[in-house]
Amino acid sequence: MTDQHDGVDKPVQPGGYFPRCQHTKTYAPFTRKLLADQQQDQSYQKRDTTATKEEIRVDTTEAKQYFSKHLLDWYNVHKRDLPWRRSRNPYYIWISEVMLQQTRVETVIPYFHRFVEKFPSVEALADAPEEEVLKAWEGLGYYSRARNLQAAVREVKEVYGGRVPDTQEEISSLKGVGPYTAGAVLSIAYNKPEPAVDGNVMRVLSRYFLLRDDIAKPATRIGMERLAKELIPEGEARDFNQALMELGATVCTPKSPHCLTCPVIEHCAGRMEGAVDALPVKTKAKPPRPEKRAVAFIEGAGENAGKVLARQRPKEGLLARMWELPHVLLPETIAALGPESDEAAMRCLSESLASEHGLEVEPLAPMMDAEHTFSHIHWQMRVYRCRFAGLAGRAAENGSAAGDSDDGNVFLWFGERELEQYALPNVFVKILKQAGSYRS
DNA sequence: AACACGGGGGA
DNA sequence: TCCCCAGTGTT
């Protein structure tokens, strides 16, 4: 946390470009104005008649104009050559923005190329089988993004005649399009003066304007959007919004920011306060809960020789509709026993698979360990080699479609061909690779 | 307001 | 290895 924010009123400090204010939180003058606007627009207008307030307003305007102009000039020289910047096709911009949610530029680039090649238009994506879209997203994470994107694209095709909407109301109503993505597409594709506030932007603004509000809180994002919108120079929304994000991504980085090359260092309030390293303020997420899981590695025989039995996950929830090796959550009583609990774990694996899926297996011996951390769960997995002893109700036939009643209960023998066709969470790709049953 | 939802990169 | 990153939807 910050060293400044101790809940005690600070005295007004003389000197400096942005003298500290007499509040429990120490804001620069125009910072206070931002918050005042947000909370009490009218009362602020009335108070804004004194000489002191007048000066503050002038200061604010200058600092904002300085920021916008220098940032824009910098961007025109230093912008990166990114695939989606070579197009103004709103559909491509949209794809890139959805992929860029929670995901780095370098990671997204190869996915973006493959995705637009495979689904070059709204119609192509709308008409594609969901399975193919999920496969194209494999490894990118947050798979509901892919599902929501396709649902939204189908709506664009049917309701808007294939044209990506260019109004806040319409585009925000699409699945998976929140405040950030809406602003990004409207500004970048259509040059509309809407803010696009992501993590980069909140970091940059919190430092430059010395905003100590917790960026994890929704109310802070609302305030940032208001500020970001004010900063957009007339007719320059497209480049300005990208400039703001570009600065956060390449200069005003989370750790060890490159202040000496920053185009707006001269008026950066965070820098002047020596508070850059402490900003932005963000409450920590709680650590992921640990889960011990037993995984069944079941090799086929006869016509399924060389294949491994996989299960399709339910259509809702974690890793929805993706494929995986069958596995079960071990109860605390077993998990607490530690590595010596293999006997108990194997019994639990066998019993759970039988009762939950009608899958009969005989666990033979531990094979390998694997770990996977989601943002909220930590999986500690032990893989057990198992002998296949039958699947109740229905044989594990390749190619059979899953009915609703089969949700979470569909099995398939996975070989090379299935690996190329169906999406698996990363952790299972790694397990299969390490098991040496398949080539990469 | 709190939680669910992946995976990658850097110190 | 551990720590950090961070949009949208749901409850």
Asked if pLDDT for residue A4 goes beyond 60, the answer is no
Which range among A9-18, A334-343, A370-379, A410-419 shows the weakest confidence by mean pLDDT? A9-18
For strand B, is any atom closer than 7 Å to the CB of A139? yes
CA distances for A383 relative to A47, A323, A367, angstroms = 68, 16, 5
The dihedral region occupied by A390, where left means phi > 0, alpha psi between -120 and 50, and beta the remainder, is left
Q: Which positions of A are annotated as active-site residues?
A: 97
Q: Looking at residue A265, what DSSP letter applies?
A: G
Nucleotides of B under 7 A from a protein CB: 1, 3-11
Q: How confident is the model over A242-267, as pLDDT tens digits?
A: 999 999 999 999 999 999 999 999 99
Confidence of residue A51 (pLDDT cuts 50, 70, 90): very low
Nearest nucleotide from residue A144 CA, by C1' atom? B5
CATH fold match for the domains A78-278 and A289-435: no
Say how far A283 CA is from C2 C1', in Å: 18
d(CA A133, CA A89): 20
- The span from the first CA to the last CA of chain A, in angstroms, equals 44
H/E stretch holding A291 reads: strand A289-298
Asked if pLDDT for residue A355 goes beyond 70, the answer is yes
Say how far A129 CA is from B8 C1', in Å: 28
The CATH classification number of A78-278 equals 1.10.340.30
Say how far A97 CA is from B6 C1', in Å: 17
What is the reported pLDDT for A342?
92
For strand C, is any atom closer than 7 Å to the CB of A282? yes
For strand B, is any atom closer than 7 Å to the CB of A103? yes
Say how far A108 CA is from C3 C1', in Å: 22
Domain ranges of chain A: 78-278, 289-435
Spell A78-105 as b/e; 16+ CB within 10 A means b: eeeeeebeeeebbbbbbbbbbbbbeeeb
Nearest nucleotide from residue A196 CA, by C1' atom? C7
The three-class DSSP label of residue A133 is helix
Say how far A316 CA is from C10 C1', in Å: 12
Structure tokens at A43: 């009362």
Structure tokens at A380: 């500690």
Which single residue has its CA nearest the C1' atom of nucleotide B10? Answer: A255
Confidence of residue A59 (pLDDT cuts 50, 70, 90): low
Asked if pLDDT for residue A343 goes beyond 70, the answer is yes
Which single residue has its CA nearest the C1' atom of nucleotide B9? Answer: A104
> Has domain A289-435 been given CATH number 3.90.79.10?
yes
Q: How confident is the model over A90-139, as pLDDT tens digits?
A: 999 999 999 999 999 999 999 999 999 999 999 999 999 999 999 999 99
Number of other residues whose CB lies within 10 A of the CB of residue A58: 11
What is the reported pLDDT for A284?
82
